[in-house]
Amino acid sequence: MILGKATKQCLPNGQWFVHPLLNTTWSNYSACEGAPVDDDEHDLISLPNPEVHLHRIKLIYSTGYGISLFALGIAIFIMIYFKRLHCPRNTIHVHLFSAFVLRAFLSFLKDSLLVEHLGLPGDVTMVNGTLIFDPNASHWECKLLFTIFHYIVLTSAAWVFMEGLYLYILVTVTIFSERRYIRWCTALGWGGPLLFLVPWVVIRAIVEDDLCWNTHPTPTFFWILKGPQIAITVVNLYFFIRIICVLFTKLVSTAPPRARKYRYRRLGKSTLVLIPIFGVHYLLTIGFPANMDPMVETIKLYFEMFFNSFQGVLIACLFCFMNGEVQSEIRKRYIRHKLRVNSRNFQNKLASTACSNMRPRTRPSSSPRLDSRELQSSSGSDNANGSVERQKLKIYCQPLRYYRAQIPNGVADTRPFIYSSDKKNSYV
């Protein structure tokens, strides 16, 4: 038995409302107790408590995109700040990081601007307590927002392909021009998605100009954007298999027979590292049909949102934070900073010690005055003592020499100084 009322929104163009997250027509059963018994639509909303799943999915990808945005920002700063890391390989990494940063940023921007996933505040209106899409507005702002979002999604997939292609060329090709390759990568990585985005925009504007282009009532049109992503995944799978074969061949030829267990362990680590780089995990969800069991659809959404959002932080860790070259540069910079601070502290202590030793001694005010005879009698001793004091002062004021300590190569600008005087047995 179902208590309550289920609602379904009919748009001004005569079509049912399509949920942006599910890409299917949506019936609101939130006022009912229990799941509907006569629902023939196989979507996520037919599950009990669908809002709970939608909230969890949103929490997952919000957390993933937030961590990825933070990690990728640090990775880009490291790659740009250290000049020794400027090379063609790291240039491709920076482009890939930038694409995923834009994807995470636009995801947060989209969620913060949209009202109930329908459109921007100027695109919706409230009629009889129900929020509907305003048919009288132009809606070009929200359409532009989703056009840019789809472009960034295609761009991130394109740069994943560039990473896989570059690694495949390094493994299989002996000699090639890296500078020329970087130029082609930059042009195809940022300009290639336009070859598929522009036809999709034209078709949506002429044939299917519905809502904010955040839904896809006709799946055929959406394949203009989805098809290239699937093709990139399939090609990356080919690169992945070829590289694994090459790595296995090299490990077999170099490792001794007794090290077979460690050889397979190294191969397994290399395989796990290459999976997020090539996006092989996308193959697990490509073959799913459009209409499937609600539970399977829910699992698919959880899986896709998790990997899509956390892929950025995985790539940042693999290409930057776990990179030995990056770790070496950070370690050198830390050593230089530590030596610079220690040298500055040593110089300050040295100056304070020298000044305290050269400070003249003053006679206490309470000492008794000497008469003229005592002053005359003590003049000879004062002259002798004064010569000794002047000699000490001369020793203190001797020009100091410094010797550079021998430290590891690469740290030559902030070495600590060891001071000594020209006079023997004189210390400052």
In a domain, 18, yes or no: no
Query: Is 335 exposed, middle or buried (CB count within 10 Å of its CB: 0-12, 13-18, 19+)?
Result: middle
Is 283 inside any structural domain?
yes
Does residue 334 belong to any structural domain of this protein? Answer: no
Q: How many domains does the chain have?
A: 1
pLDDT of residue 72: 94
- Mean pLDDT, 10 residues at a time, over the chain (428 residues)? 55 60 54 39 50 82 92 94 88 92 91 80 75 75 90 92 86 76 88 93 87 80 88 86 80 65 64 68 65 74 85 88 87 87 74 61 50 48 50 44 46 43 41
Kindly state the DSSP code that residue 148 receives in the 8-state scheme. H
Angle in degrees, CA 311, 145, 60, rounded to 5: 35
pLDDT at 114: 82
Q: Which two tokens stand for residue 214?
A: 């955040």
pLDDT for 193: 93
352 found inside a domain: no
| pLDDT of the residue at 247 | 76
DSSP state of 28: E
- Amino acid, single-letter form, for residue 355: C
Taking residue 247's Cβ as centre, other Cβ atoms within 10 Å add up to: 16
The CATH number covering residue 288 comes to 1.20.1070.10
Residue 270 in any domain: the answer is: yes
| pLDDT value of position 154 | 93
- Would you say residue 217 lies in a domain? yes
Judge whether 308 lies within some domain: yes
Distance separating alpha carbons of residues 115 and 131, to the nearest angstrom: 9
Q: Which pLDDT value is given to residue 95?
A: 94
Please report the pLDDT score of residue 175 as a whole number: 73
Asked, for residue 29, whether it belongs to a domain, the answer is no
**Token pair for 53:** 């799943």
